[in-house]
């Protein structure tokens, strides 16, 4: 039952402990400690799908800033190197990198899911970093400045460019190691300085990783909490709907006759009392008829009680089909039915009742093995101006019914 699941879900929350501390518990919503991603692949993919449009927008902004900075630094290159070979090599590097960045920008605009896949961003970053190493070859005059820029780029790869942490950290390590190797190759470092530079480069990697990890964990905890809340709300909704259906079923069982589906005695007495009060207040006519099937005992004796039950069900359906929606139908018991006709004079009620018994007499009833004909007698009465109780009305209709039985059955007898 949904209620058991709800109790189980709420039971895991200990008093005084933040809800978010429980979100990561259990494998279903647990988060990888190093990368800040869900262990459950389906949950991780759902998270990425939901955040793809937002991440795509952030990535496009980061790519534009990256391309702008890349191109703007061509100006100091020109001022220092002039229109020579070294300048054009660096300019070609900047233009080639910008083309890659622009291609990724356009691709992400068409398909936001590319922004959360990691591999395409990482590929562009690796190529761009490799090309950036040309600056160390052709601008040794700004070595300290270039190393500072490299530190910022390492931090930016993790913290500023939207990418999955498990893809961004290897790219940052690649840039750190590649830069140190290039400087070692150029003779700008000795072996001890090489190790020291790697240690320095590890600082922005660690800082970027810690910040990005914290953001990843917080985002996924919020996502998990939202998903669990949505699931609990859905279960609560299903529980409410189930209880509502159960209540409707109980209400139906409490107010209807199980065999025929008509109002049972308790229900039609309440409805009759309401209509009687309305009739007295508005001084409107109200008629009542009691329907009794003729020779019904012979049906049970000849064809069995199951056939008798089928006859009662079919007669009840004929009542529903032939009387008005405002008329109140009920089963008195056995083979007797009762119908209350609001705003109906006795003459009108007799016409309606006569039409019903003619329809019944001309309608064969299938009892499984054969069709049989059934007739009925109806006693019809109309409330008198001084009549204030249902008991008297029903008794007069019952007396009229028996007069009809004595007069030959299959007829309407006014009372």
Concatenate the DSSP letters of all residues of 92-120 into one string.
Answer: HHHHHHHHHHHHHHHHHHH-GGGGGTSHH
Q: Is residue 134 part of a domain?
A: yes
- Of 338, 339, 333, 334, the closest CA to residue 308 belongs to 334
Q: What is the pLDDT of residues 239-286, one digit of tens each?
A: 999 999 998 888 878 788 889 999 998 888 899 899 989 998 998 999
Q: Is residue 240 part of a domain?
A: no
Q: Do residue 332 and residue 402 come from a single domain? A: yes
Report the b/e string of 322-342 with b at 16+ CB within 10 A. Answer: bbeeebbbbbbeebbbbbbbb
Q: Do residue 308 and residue 165 come from a single domain? A: no
Q: Is residue 247 part of a domain?
A: no
Q: Do residue 138 and residue 285 come from a single domain? A: no
Q: Do residue 211 and residue 355 come from a single domain? A: no
Residue 27: pLDDT band (50, 70, 90) is low
Residue 24: pLDDT band (50, 70, 90) is very low
Q: What is the pLDDT of residues 137-162, one digit of tens each?
A: 999 999 999 999 999 999 999 999 99
Q: Do residue 200 and residue 291 come from a single domain? A: no
Looking at the predicted structure, is the pLDDT value of residue 63 above 60?
Answer: yes
Checking 57-66 for CB contacts under 8 A at 24+ apart, the result is 58/115, 58/162, 59/104, 59/108, 59/115, 59/121, 59/161, 59/162, 60/105, 60/108, 60/109, 62/160, 62/161, 62/162, 63/101, 63/102, 63/104, 63/105, 63/108, 63/161, 64/105, 66/101, 66/161
The rounded distance, in Å, linking the Cα atoms of 375 and 164 is 82
Q: Is residue 303 part of a domain?
A: yes
Mean pLDDT for 223-236 is 90
Question: What percent of the chain is predicted at pLDDT more than 90?
Answer: 71
Residue 5's pLDDT is what?
40
The rounded distance, in Å, linking the Cα atoms of 83 and 80 is 9
With a threshold of 0.75, does the pTM exceed it?
no
Q: What is the pLDDT of residues 70-102, one digit of tens each?
A: 999 999 999 999 999 999 999 999 999 999 999
Q: Which domain holds residue 359?
A: 265-414
Q: Identify the DSSP state of 286.
A: E
Specify the length of the chain in residues. 415
Helix, strand, coil share (%) of the chain residues, nearest 5: 70, 10, 20
Q: Do residue 336 and residue 400 come from a single domain? A: yes
Q: Identify the DSSP state of 29.
A: G
Q: What is the pLDDT of residues 95-146, one digit of tens each?
A: 999 999 999 999 999 999 999 988 999 999 999 999 999 999 999 999 999 9
Q: Do residue 54 and residue 148 come from a single domain? A: yes
Concatenate the DSSP letters of all residues of 48-62 into one string.
Answer: HHHHHHHHHHHHHHH
Domain end point (choices 210, 233, 256): 233
Q: What is the pLDDT of residues 154-210, one digit of tens each?
A: 999 999 999 999 999 999 999 999 999 999 999 988 888 999 999 999 999 999 999
Domain end point (choices 183, 216, 233): 233
Looking at the predicted structure, is the pLDDT value of residue 384 above 50?
Answer: yes
Mean pLDDT for 362-391 is 90
In total, how many domains does the chain have?
2
Mean pLDDT for 319-334 is 92
Secondary element (H or E) of residue 289: strand 286-293
Please say whether the beta carbons of 386 and 396 come within 8 A. Answer: no
Q: Is residue 259 part of a domain?
A: no
Residue 25's pLDDT is what?
47
Concatenate the DSSP letters of all residues of 217-256 into one string.
Answer: HHHHHHHHHHHHHHHHHHHHHHHHHHHHHHHHHHHHHHHB
List, in order, residues 6 or more apart from 208 with CB less than 8 Å away: 154, 155, 157, 158, 159, 168, 172
Checking 22-27 for CB contacts under 8 A at 24+ apart, the result is 23/221, 23/224, 23/225, 23/228, 24/217, 24/221, 24/224
Q: Do residue 147 and residue 86 come from a single domain? A: yes
Please calculate the CA angle 189-192-196 and round it to the nearest 5 degrees: 85
Residue 26's pLDDT is what?
54
Looking at the predicted structure, is the pLDDT value of residue 10 above 50?
Answer: no
The rounded distance, in Å, linking the Cα atoms of 233 and 365 is 50
Looking at the predicted structure, is the pLDDT value of residue 28 above 90?
Answer: no
Mean pLDDT for 337-353 is 94
Residue 329's pLDDT is what?
94
Q: Is residue 7 part of a domain?
A: yes
Looking at the predicted structure, is the pLDDT value of residue 406 above 60?
Answer: yes
Q: Is residue 78 part of a domain?
A: yes
Please report where in the chains the tokens 């008798």 appear, as a residue.
Answer: 308
Domain end point (choices 214, 233, 252): 233
Q: Using DSSP, how many helices (H) and how many strands (E) does the chain show?
A: 15, 7
Q: Do residue 197 and residue 277 come from a single domain? A: no
Looking at the predicted structure, is the pLDDT value of residue 20 above 60?
Answer: no
Instruction: Tell me the CATH number at 291.
Output: 3.30.70.270
Residue 156's pLDDT is what?
93
Q: Do residue 280 and residue 190 come from a single domain? A: no
The rounded distance, in Å, linking the Cα atoms of 57 and 109 is 8
Q: Is residue 95 part of a domain?
A: yes
List, in order, residues 6 or more apart from 236 with CB less than 8 Å away: 2, 6
Q: Do residue 285 and residue 194 come from a single domain? A: no
Round the average pLDDT of the chain to a whole number and report it.
Answer: 89
Q: Do residue 118 and residue 166 come from a single domain? A: yes
Cβ atoms within 10 Å of 386's Cβ, excluding its own: 5
């Amino acid at each position: 039952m949904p209620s058991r699941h709800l109790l189980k879900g709420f039971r895991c929350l200990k008093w005084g402990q933040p809800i978010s501390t429980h979100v990561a518990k259990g494998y279903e919503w647990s988060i990888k400690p190093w990368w800040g991603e869900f262990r459950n692949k389906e949950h991780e993919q759902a998270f990425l799908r939901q955040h793809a449009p937002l991440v795509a927008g952030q990535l496009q902004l980061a790519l534009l800033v990256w391309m702008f900075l890349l191109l703007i630094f061509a100006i100091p290159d020109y001022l220092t190197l002039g229109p020579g070979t070294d300048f054009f090599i660096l300019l070609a590097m900047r233009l080639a990198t910008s083309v890659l960045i622009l291609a990724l920008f356009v691709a992400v605009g068409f398909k936001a899911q590319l922004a959360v896949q990691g591999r395409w961003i990482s590929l562009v970053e690796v190529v761009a970093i490799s090309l950036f190493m040309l600056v160390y070859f052709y601008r040794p005059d700004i070595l300290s400045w270039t190393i500072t820029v490299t530190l910022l780029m390492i931090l930016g790869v993790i913290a500023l460019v939207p990418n999955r942490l498990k893809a961004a950290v290897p790219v940052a390590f690649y840039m750190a190691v590649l830069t140190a190797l290039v400087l070692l190759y150029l003779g700008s470092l000795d072996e001890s300085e090489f190790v020291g530079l790697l240690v320095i480069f590890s600082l922005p990697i660690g800082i970027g990783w810690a910040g990005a990890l914290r953001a990843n964990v917080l985002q996924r905890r919020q996502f998990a909490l939202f998903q669990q809340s949505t699931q609990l709300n859905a279960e609560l909704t299903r529980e409410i709907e189930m209880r509502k259906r159960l209540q409707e079923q109980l209400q139906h069982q409490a107010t209807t006759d199980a065999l025929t589906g008509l109002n049972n005695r308790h229900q039609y007495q309440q409805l009759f009392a309401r209509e009687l009060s309305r009739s007295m207040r508005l001084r409107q006519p109200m008629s009542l008829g009691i329907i009794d099937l003729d020779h019904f005992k012979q049906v049970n004796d000849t064809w069995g009680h199951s056939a008798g039950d089928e006859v009662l069900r079919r007669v009840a359906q004929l009542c529903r089909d032939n009387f008005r929606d405002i008329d109140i139908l009920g089963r008195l018991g056995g083979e007797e039915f009762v119908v209350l006709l609001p705003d109906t004079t006795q003459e009108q009620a007799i016409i309606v009742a006569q039409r019903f018994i003619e329809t019944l007499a001309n309608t064969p009833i299938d009892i499984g093995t054969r069709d049989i004909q059934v007739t009925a007698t109806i006693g019809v009465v109309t409330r008198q101006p001084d009549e204030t109780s249902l008991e008297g009305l029903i008794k007069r209709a019952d007396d009229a019914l028996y007069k009809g039985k004595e007069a030959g059955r299959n007829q309407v007898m006014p009372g």
